[in-house]
């Protein structure tokens, strides 16, 4: 998450700062965001909000994330915070809440408001028992929060494991529709790579060690093995862990991508990998729902791509596997706002179905609000396909927020680095990789 430990330490003593600048005008609010792609949509919503309520909202953006963090820190020290902050959900919001920078919204978000959000994320921003437990850790960045407190409401939602395919490159290779299965996906990549070995492969920001593991291998393994057998990969029992036959099988499937990675993809950051795709240096990119907005900022239109959830193997245990949504960003009310009621009206306004649909179309990002069956008429095929990737049951949905089956302290980046030696580097076999992941898991379990 965006705010690091140093931020928490810096902000911890700032809770007693005074009111915001916007307090001089009872009909004016101020909001800050770190998402450039959200600015236009938020300002358009502010125009509608003023027509409806007479309350104006000034929306300002500060990017990148580090600059935003610095801005918030500085403003907290100098009595200059806005009324509303866009925050990273279920992380940054807790840090700011623990520091007293943002207000506790517990009991201030009635069902009529929270009920608008997608079911899986309606409680986002709330300190759950699990989050409270995490806050007790010695190195926690949100130490001091209390169970049940709420420091944000969700604004955008999404997930990882979304594949983007360049329609033109696919057409050049004789492909006119998005792959529906893992097998079709591999065939499509082979075809584009055969057509142009230099620019027909896959880009993924593997410099961030965990991306291959969490965005590709894990949803693939869930679909191939089913929920329980997928969980067993991380368990203590060697009969089902990464060193088992199941482990070797899913690692071998992941290894099928090895010939098709964009050269040097292991050295690319996430943004660099997405930018390479937008520039035509790869035919496929793996990212998240939020990637589409970045592609558009880099001059690639939504109509230029197929967007779809990483396909499941045809013969796997869950061939209709869905991808569970997470709350990605939220809205926090600053503790120093002199217009908390008006600010909450603005936050609730943004959750309205029509407002959220327009926000999604304008920003190319998925809203936290449940849009209903008619959303495809507003959003277009790319955003609609991403929403449809959420369509599953508890048994068929890969939920990236569930991690309690792993050993406590499990570090995804360490495991991801092991995986990189299998693919794309090809330094080890699936069996060797499985043995190393087994050893890693065992070490974590042994410390408990």
Mean pLDDT for 303-313 is: 95
Q: Which residue has the tokens 């360049």?
A: 166
Number of H helices, E strands in the chain: 20, 11
pLDDT tens across 262-271, in order? 999 999 999 9
Q: What is the per-residue pLDDT for 387?
A: 86
The pTM assigned to this predicted structure is: 0.83
**Strand ranges in 74-134 using DSSP code E only, listed in sequence order:** 84-88
Measured distance CA(77)–CA(429) in Å, rounded:
54
Mean pLDDT for 202-209 is: 95
Asked which of 45-59, 239-253, 295-309 is least confident by mean pLDDT, the reply is 295-309
Residues facing 157 on adjacent strands: 327
Mean pLDDT for 284-305 is: 93
Confidence of residue 43 (pLDDT cuts 50, 70, 90): very high
Q: Which residue has the tokens 């508890």?
A: 394
Q: In whole angstroms, how far apart are CA 138 and each of 133, 142, 244, 413? A: 11, 10, 35, 21
Confidence of residue 25 (pLDDT cuts 50, 70, 90): low
pLDDT at 125 over 90: yes
Mean pLDDT for 32-39 is: 95
Mean pLDDT for 35-39 is: 93
Three-state DSSP class for residue 227: helix
Are 233 and 246 within 8 A, CB to CB?
yes
Question: How does strand 153-158 pair with strand 84-88?
Answer: unpaired
Higher pLDDT, residue 19 or 388: 388
pLDDT tens across 410-424, in order? 899 999 999 999 999
Listed in sequence order, the residues at least 6 apart from 445 whose beta carbon sits closer than 8 Å to its beta carbon are: 236, 407
Tokens of 425: 């580097």
Backbone angles phi, psi at 234, to 5 degrees: -100, 5
Residues facing 33 on adjacent strands: 61
Measured distance CA(402)–CA(398) in Å, rounded:
9
Confidence of residue 372 (pLDDT cuts 50, 70, 90): confident
Burial of 108 per CB tally in 10 Å (0-12, 13-18, 19+)? middle
Q: What is the per-residue pLDDT for 140?
A: 87
Q: In whole angstroms, how far apart are CA 89 and each of 40, 57, 251? A: 21, 22, 31
pLDDT at 28 over 80: yes
Listed in sequence order, the residues at least 6 apart from 327 whose beta carbon sits closer than 8 Å to its beta carbon are: 89, 90, 121, 124, 125, 154, 156, 157, 368
Q: In whole angstroms, how far apart are CA 428 and each of 205, 252, 255, 374? A: 20, 11, 10, 48
pLDDT tens across 151-196, in order? 999 999 999 999 999 999 999 999 999 999 999 999 999 999 999 9
**Tally of CA atoms within 13 A in the half-sphere of 181 that contains its CB:** 10
Measured distance CA(167)–CA(209) in Å, rounded:
28
């Amino acid at each position: 998450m965006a705010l690091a430990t140093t931020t928490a330490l810096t902000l911890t003593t700032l809770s007693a700062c005074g009111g915001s600048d916007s307090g001089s005008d009872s009909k004016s609010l101020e909001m800050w965001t770190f998402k450039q792609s959200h600015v236009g949509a938020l300002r358009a919503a502010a125009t509608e909000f003023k027509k409806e309520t007479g309350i104006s909202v000034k929306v300002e953006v500060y990017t990148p994330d580090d600059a935003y963090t610095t801005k918030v820190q500085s403003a907290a020290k100098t009595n200059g915070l806005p009324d509303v902050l866009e925050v990273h959900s279920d992380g940054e919001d807790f840090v700011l809440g623990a520091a007293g920078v943002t207000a506790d919204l517990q009991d201030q978000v009635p069902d009529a408001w929270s009920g608008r959000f997608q079911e899986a994320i309606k409680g986002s921003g709330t300190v759950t028992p699990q989050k409270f437990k995490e806050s007790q850790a010695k190195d926690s960045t949100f130490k001091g929060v209390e169970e049940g407190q709420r420091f944000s409401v969700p604004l955008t939602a999404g997930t990882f494991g979304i594949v983007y395919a360049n329609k033109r490159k696919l057409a050049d290779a004789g492909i006119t529709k998005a792959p529906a299965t893992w097998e079709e996906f591999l065939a499509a990549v082979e075809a584009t790579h055969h057509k142009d070995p230099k620019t027909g492969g896959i880009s993924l920001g593997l410099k961030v060690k965990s991306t291959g593991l969490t965005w590709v291998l894990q949803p693939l393994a869930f679909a191939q093995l089913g929920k329980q057998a997928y969980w067993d990969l991380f368990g203590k029992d060697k009969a089902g862990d990464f060193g088992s036959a199941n482990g070797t099988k899913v690692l071998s499937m992941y290894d099928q991508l090895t010939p098709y990675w964009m050269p040097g993809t292991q050295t690319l950051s996430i943004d660099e990998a997405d930018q390479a795709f937008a520039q035509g240096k790869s035919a496929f990119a793996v990212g998240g729902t939020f990637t589409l907005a970045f592609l558009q900022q880099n001059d690639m239109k939504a109509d230029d791509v197929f967007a779809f959830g990483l396909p499941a193997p045809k013969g796997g245990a869950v061939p209709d596997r869905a991808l569970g949504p997470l709350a990605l960003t939220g809205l926090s009310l600053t503790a120093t706002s002199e217009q908390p009621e008006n600010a909450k009206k603005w936050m609730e306004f943004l959750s309205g179905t029509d407002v959220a649909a327009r926000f999604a179309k304008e920003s190319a990002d998925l809203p936290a609000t449940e849009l209903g069956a008619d959303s495809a008429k507003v959003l277009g095929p790319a955003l609609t396909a991403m929403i449809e990737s959420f369509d599953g049951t508890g048994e068929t949905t890969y939920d990236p927020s569930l991690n309690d089956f792993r050993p406590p302290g499990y570090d995804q980046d360490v495991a991801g680095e092991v995986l990189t030696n299998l693919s794309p580097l090809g330094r080890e076999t699936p069996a060797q990789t499985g043995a190393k992941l087994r050893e890693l898991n065992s070490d974590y379990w042994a410390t408990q």
